[in-house]
Amino acid sequence: MDIAALERFLCERGVDVRGELRVELISGGRSNLTFAAYDDVSKWVVRRPPVAGLTPSAHDMAREFTVTEALQESAVPVAKTIAFDEKGSALGAPMTVVEFVDGSVIRDQDDLAALTDEQLSASVGELVRVLAELHAVDPGPVGLREFGRPEGFLARQVRLWASQWDRVKTRELRDVAELHAALSEAVPQQSAASIVHGDFRIDNTILDSADPGRVRAVVDWELSTLGDPLTDVALMCVYRAPVFDLVLGSRAAWTSDRIPGPDELAQAYATASGRDLGDWGFYLALANFKLGVIGEGITHRARLGFDAGSDAAMRAAEATPEFMAAGLRALRGGRK
């Protein structure tokens, strides 16, 4: 982070920087780099793409800023947007700046241990409600009518993740080809359209520290688009699989057995949103397919030298066969 360049950028955008500007890295690695920037009065969050190793489309800063700005006056809690450097003139890469939202981020099961069962139940209920609120936002009035192409979204997703597999596979797996073929045959003829987050679970939100049953902000919008809302719901449910720990390389909060299972989460969403979960097996299968490819991709990049020395990254692909098998079971109507 070039602090002097960041300060010049903020001042040029009319942000009143008082005193020395300081910057600290909050998180980095496989996702966008996230920094806390603060002066003597105010605090902001600065996000930029990683310096190497990932495809730009997975970390589209314009997408993240656009949807966050559009949702400012909606029922979906988001950080207040401050500025966007689309061309990367300040840092040499696109950058977003939003207000810092104070609160708790529950990333792993150690963080989760700080919540009582009552607090956790309230948190999960609120997460499901917020997701339903997001899917209820009409994209047109908030300026997101052209944010994506909902027509043919599901078929494109199947093709996208199959082509991604061809780029990152570290071995041949028969279940991958079988699941791809089955998904291609099972694409629903009709589906709903809404704003989708693309990566919704507890650690991509900021909870109120005093009241974990309140979501103060939904974050990490770089995969958002216009698409089928049930893809968000199914992914949220499949993230509950214990094997997802291998993909994240940690004991993820969302895989804890303290959180309701996939069926309960899906039913809670159906109740909150009033949506029918038709073709549910297809959506679960697609989510499993996607996560299997992602796990494979993490190990693929580790073998290329990214995340060098990370045993967790080298092991991520161990999850792939389990996700592919779970996807086939979901399509066949077996255990989810």
Asked whether 197 and 223 are in contact (CB, 8 A), the reply is yes
Whole-prediction pTM = 0.91
For 212, the 3-state DSSP assignment is coil
- Evaluate the CA torsion angle 11, 16, 22, 26 in order and state its sign: negative
Residue ranges of the chain whose pLDDT lies below 50: 53-59, 334-336
The answer for residues whose C-beta is within 8 angstroms of residue 180's C-beta and 6 or more apart is 158, 162, 165, 289
Amino acid occupying residue 61: M
By DSSP bridging, strand 43-48 and strand 95-99 are: antiparallel
pLDDT digits (tens, 9 = 90+) for 174-219: 999 999 999 999 999 888 999 999 999 999 999 999 999 999 999 9
Amino acid occupying residue 262: P
pLDDT digits (tens, 9 = 90+) for 43-72: 999 998 876 544 444 447 888 899 999 999
Question: 199: closest CA among 215, 180, 222?
Answer: 222
Asked whether 7 and 17 are in contact (CB, 8 A), the reply is yes
| pLDDT at residue 1, as a whole number | 84
CA quadruple 233, 236, 237, 243: dihedral, nearest 10 = 150
- Separation between Cα atoms, residue 299 and residue 310, nearest integer Å: 10
φ/ψ of 89, rounded to 5, equals: -70, -30
